[in-house]
Amino acid sequence: MTANNETNADTKIIRIRIKRQDTPDSQSYHQDFELDYKPNLNVISCLQAIAARPVTVENEDVTPVVWDCNCLEEVCGACTVVINGRVRQSCSTLVDALIAEGTGTASEPILIEPMTKFPVVRDLFVDRTRMFENLKKISGWVPVDGSHDLGPGPVESPESQEERYNLSRCMTCGCCLEACPQFQFDGDFVGAQTIGQTLYFNEHKTGAVLKNERLEVMEQVGGVSDCGNSQNCVKVCPKEIPLSEAIAKIGRQVTVHTVKQFFTGKS
Ligand code: SF4
Ligand code: SF4
Ligand code: FES
């Protein structure tokens, strides 16, 4: 391997720079690693190779880089990191595409960093608990208790199924929150992911029984009115979830709910 490759085609070496952090409270730092190029590598396979041989370009033995992953097929959301400044999944990001963008060389390494909107546990592994807590806040479930036979569920129209199928594809990856200017590390705003899931459960015939409770969360500080409508979220969602439409629909549902509360005095 060489520390000075400029063209991947000539040297068949890829340079990767990783932002590391040893503990949740310690200072971050960067380390560079080099790997032999192979076609069709994804970023996770590079991280695996670095874990197998954690030696920097300065030939220093270091601790293996820590990251999170599970499904390896862009379904679980766990491997989300910021690669070359764009939030995305390490399992579905191909190194060939990053090289085609001009990175992977000694002067322009592929830069892999943890998301900034969640606490770092270690290196690239962040704590995404906040998203799951927000789903609890909006009662992100269909309330069907018991193991007894409930009979057939309510009939859903094909249009509703289609709309909810799109929303159901959310994998709680956090991309939409990382890209959102309104979603802050310590802020109240729940972000596009929770708003999308609010619509998902409100539009379910049985899930709608908790619609008012969900809309009460959405009408408070941190709810849908905190969205600044920049639409960064929809641009980075790997599942192409129609987040702008979801935000607009929940905004309308909140308005109707607030007007009803005003006239009836009931929630
Ligand atoms: S539209 Fe903009 S402000 Fe609203 S959730 Fe999406 S990224 Fe955030
Ligand atoms: S809405 Fe899209 S970007 Fe946001 S958490 Fe779900 S899958 Fe990820
Ligand atoms: S490992 Fe599950 S989305 Fe990448």
pLDDT at 3: 43
Sketch the domain layout of the chain as residue ranges: 8-126, 129-143+152-264
Half-sphere exposure at residue 152, Cβ-oriented, CA atoms within 13 angstroms: 3
Q: What is the pLDDT of residue 51?
A: 94
CATH superfamily of 8-126: Beta-grasp domain (3.10.20.30)
Distance between CA atoms of residues 33 and 18, nearest Å: 8
What is the value of pTM for the model shown? Answer: 0.92
User: How far apart are the C-alpha atoms of 222 and 226, rounded to whole Å?
Assistant: 6
Other Cβ atoms within 10 Å of 88 Cβ, number: 20
Do 161 and 205 form a contact (C-beta atoms < 8 A)?
no
| Element at 244 (helix H, strand E) | helix 243-264
CA 165 – ligand 3 centroid, Å:
20
Q: Which of 151, 191, 146, 155 lies closest to 173 in space, CA to CA? A: 191
* pLDDT at site 267: 63
**Predicted pLDDT of residue 217:** 97
Walking along the chain (267 residues) 10 residues at a time, the average pLDDT comes out as 47 92 98 96 97 97 97 97 98 97 96 98 98 97 81 87 95 98 96 98 94 96 96 97 97 94 76
Q: What is the pLDDT at residue 264?
A: 81
Query: Does the Cβ of 239 fall within 6 Å of ligand 2?
Result: yes
Specify the ligand 2 atom closest to the Cα of 174: 5
- Residue 231 CA: nearest ligand 1 atom is 1
Protein residue with its CA nearest to atom 6 in ligand 2: 170
Whether the CB of 176 sits within 6 Å of ligand 2? yes
Distance 209 CA to ligand 2 centre (A): 25
By three-state DSSP, how is residue 7 classified?
A: coil
Helix (H, G, I), strand (E, B) or coil at 159: helix
**Do 116 and 178 meet the contact criterion of CB atoms below 8 Å apart?**
yes
Smallest-distance ligand from the CA of 247: 1
What class is the 129-143+152-264 domain?
Answer: mainly alpha
Residues 6+ apart with CB under 8 A from 195: 218, 224, 227, 243, 246, 247, 250
- Res 5: pLDDT: 44
C-alpha distances in Å from residue 262, one per residue of 71, 252, 255, 258:
47, 15, 11, 6
